[in-house]
Copies of this chain bind each other. A is one copy, B any other.
């Protein structure tokens, strides 16, 4: 059974609450109710089980310079600090997005359509528009790759 896979369409209520589908909900709760919200530079909001997020962060620490004694180092700390936040999945299976995260993700005020994308280790929350753009970007990449492969199959 694959976890955190597939795509859901759902909606965020006017208070920034998202009800997860039973499938994703099960994927999360099997790892505990604590999750971490993290704003991605792609313009979406990622949701990871807490233990998963901690592992990701640790891996990054090994490779990146995160000292507070440099401009770049401080900027990195600022990034993962400001754009990450712990949340808890409620008894009704809902997650609340903080105001700043809603803005980052491009979700306006009021009820909003939303795309929940499984990324194997968690999910990402996208506006339909941004997800469509991302999908298209991946699709174009695939087209180039297909042409390359077919070309390679001919030239030997």
A interface residues (Cβ-Cβ under 8 A, vs B):
1-2, 4-9, 34, 36, 40-42, 48, 50, 56, 59-60, 63, 67-69, 71, 74-75, 77-86, 98-101, 117-121, 124, 134, 138-139, 141-146, 148, 150, 153-154
Contacts and interface: CB of A to CB of B under 8 A. Distances in A.
B1 A41 contact: no
Contact of A85 (B5, B101, B121): B5
Contacts of A77: 119-121
Contact of A82 (B6, B36, B50): B6
B2 A41 contact: no
A118 B81 contact: yes
Nearest to A37: B6
A36 B139 CA distance: 21
Contacts of A2: 36, 84-86
Nearest to A70: B60
Contacts of A83: 7
A20 to B, nearest CB: 15
A154 B145 contact: yes
Contact of A7 (B56, B98, B143): B98
Given A138-B79, A139-B41, A6 B59 contact: no
Contact of A74 (B60, B119, B145): B119
A1 B118 CA distance: 23
B99 A9 contact: yes
Given A100-B9, A121-B77, A141-B150, A71 B42 contact: yes
